[in-house]
Chains A and B, each alone.
Chain A
Amino acid sequence: MNERVKARTALGTAIVLVLLAPWVLDQPYWRGILVVCAMNVLLALSLNLVLGYTGQLNLGQSAFFGIGAYVSTLLIKSYGWNFWLAALVAVGAAGLLGLALAAFAVRLRGHYLAIASLGFAVITYQVLVNWENVTQGVRGIYGIMPPVASTTALFYLVAGIAVLVYVLIGNLVRSPIGETLRAIREDEVSAASLGINAALWKAFAFGIGAAIAGLAGCFYPGFVGTLVPDAFNIVESFTMLAMVIVGGMGTMIGPVIGAIVLTFLPELLRGFGELRLMIYGLALTLVVLFMPGGMVQAWMALRARIR
């Protein structure tokens, strides 16, 4: 089977799975979890572009998720905008903020970038809490309507967008741009000596990654119905990080699997109460220590052994 047929089959399977999911998990609660799962897939894809393909440890992704949520909601609630127009502007705003973070990212590496992006996320969170005239602060915004009426329709919408984003990023990372990003990841100095403008392409990755996180953010408030700054705490960045790392960063399918596993696993462990939230931390540490390539790498190793 050649690559193209393989890719088409995989895409077809994914679409069938998405279509079937709400009818397999047909209780309202599980349909809600499916929507969360689709949003998490989008977020994991967005972080993977920056962390997995460009090699930049960005701990500020929660900020862009929050900007997408707040900008779209405020435009709809305060100015009566149409959802899609508001979403478009919100995605643009998140992307611009991503470029603002990139201004730091082009000057800093490694630990310093991790901390700068973390500081960036905290500042965004603090602005959401303190700018009460606009964001209502910790009191929150209530009565937010989703763009489509039923949970199932919302799932199809977000999952459809996630599949589309997956295909687009997949094409991007296979293109020469993807090779450029990977070259920066492997060795920035060597990449620069080949004439690659690392600053420009890092800014590109940050901007696109932020815009996708912002897009996920547009669907969050309508789904939950309320909007409070705590939903975009820095802990959210760590959750995304866990999804990307556990699934396998720098691969296309890894973060998707990571997002699905880490959305459903805590739900299945509900019987353990608060202890189940430890799974994120435990999974993150264990994967880094024992299978740095994540579940994708573990699967490949397993398959190689069977053959």
Chain B
Amino acid sequence: MPDLLALLVQQSVNGVYLGCLYVMVALGLTLIYGVLNQINFAHADFVTVGAFTAFFTATRFATKVLGLPDAGAYLLSMFTALGAGALLGLAVNAAVFAPLRDRGDELRPLIATIGVSVLLENAQLALFGPIPYQFDSPFTRETIRLGRIFFSGQSVLVVGVSAAVIAALYAFMRFTFLGKALRAVAQDRETAGLMGINPSLLIGLTIVIASALAGMAGALLGPVLVLSPFAGASLIVKAFAIVIIGGFGNMQGTIIAGILVGIIEAFTVQYLGSGLIDLVVFVLLLVMLVVRPTGLIAERKEENV
């Protein structure tokens, strides 16, 4: 394989790996927006809480207390992170989204969750300090070689887990009664309520699922991210970029846009330098907002645009 082609394929592989991580973060945002038409600004801070939970599970609890091997400890940490995310989801729903839901103001929940985000970041700062943590996944050390293309074990794990999560979400939405009810609530909350569906319960469920995904994404992102209390602040803006590029509330669009942004990022690092990643992604976001605010896949006409 010629050098250039190998390089292009290698960077695309890296991009897809990164993109899958972004999809895991952005899916929750888009899920909540699809059902509730609201933004959880603290979503990316749930990711960092998940990452810290996973870090302490993997390095302290699972290895020191339970005596698990490294790989097992890391896999277990994905589930504790998931649990931490779910708990945060329950809390933010009870404290912010449920009380503000029927007041019909789209900006108040957003502003309230900005407060939650600032609160979580500074709480983490007080607990863990400003110095970034080194979170190593045992799977990063394993490399698989295919011709001249290298995959890390971690990237295979991430792509696999993301694919499984997406498939499970899709199956849940399509084939289960709850999924059908959720889609009904997303389409028309009042009518769904009249059909004997409890919208509050389903909206709460959506927020918990979305937040659990964010927590688990933290465990997967931890080894990639510079794990510090403020990591969420830069992540949330990128997640917004992905959700807007994909079309707010549109799951397929979010998946495509997430992987696209991952690939763009990989090539930006290769050709322009890593300092320019955010610049490139956000210029793309602003261009997208001007040219096609409904996102790559326009589902319905947005009245916000």
Contact = CB atoms under 8 A, between A and B. Distances in A.
A245 interface: yes
Interface residues of A, number: 42
A242 B115 contact: yes
Contact of A281 (B96, B120, B279): B120
Interface string A84-114: 0000000000000000000010011111101
A127 interface: yes
Contacts of A292: 108
Interface stretch (B7-15, B159-167, B170-178, B280-288): B280-288
A300 interface: no
Interface in B88-113: 95-96, 99-100, 106-108, 110-113
Interface string A147-176: 000000000000000000000000000000
A241 interface: yes
Given A104-B290, A126-B282, A289-B95, A57 B240 contact: no
Contacts of B70: none
Interface stretch (B122-130, B138-146, B181-189): B122-130
B241 interface: yes
Nearest to B119: A281
A126 B289 CA distance: 19
B263 to A, nearest CB: 20
Contacts of A281: 114-122
A198 interface: no
Nearest to A237: B114
B293 A289 contact: no
B136 interface: no
Contact of B240 (A119, A130, A242): A119
Helix, strand, loop or mixed for chain A's interface?
helix
A107 B96 CA distance: 29
A278 B123 contact: yes
A141 interface: no
Interface stretch (A34-42, A250-258, A269-277): A269-277
A120 B95 contact: no
Interface in B25-41: 39
Contacts of A123: 278-279, 282-283, 286
A107 B290 CA distance: 8
A112 B155 CA distance: 33
A280 B118 contact: yes
B286 A111 contact: no
B17 interface: no
Contacts, number: 138
A289 B233 contact: no
Interface residues of B, number: 45
A211 interface: no
A206 B237 CA distance: 22
A126 B100 CA distance: 34
Nearest to B112: A288
A245 B112 CA distance: 10
A216 to B, nearest CB: 21
B244 interface: yes
Contacts of B118: 235, 238, 242, 277-278, 280-281, 284
Given A110-B304, A114-B110, A127-B279, A274 B126 contact: yes
Given A112-B293, A289-B112, A122 B95 contact: no
Interface string A212-250: 000000000000000000000111001001100100000
B111 A282 contact: no
A115 interface: yes
A286 B100 CA distance: 12
A130 B276 CA distance: 7
A291 B305 CA distance: 29
A278 B119 contact: yes
Given A126-B278, A288-B115, 7 more contacts: A57-B107, A110-B106, A116-B285, A278-B126, A284-B111, A285-B116, A289-B99
20 contacts: A107-B289, A107-B305, A111-B248, A112-B293, A114-B110, A115-B285, A119-B240, A122-B278, A122-B282, A126-B275, A238-B118, A277-B126, A278-B126, A281-B114, A282-B119, A283-B115, A285-B96, A285-B112, A286-B115, A289-B100
Interface of A: 57, 104, 107-112, 114-116, 118-120, 122-123, 126-127, 129-130, 233-235, 238, 241-242, 245, 273-275, 277-278, 280-286, 288-289, 292
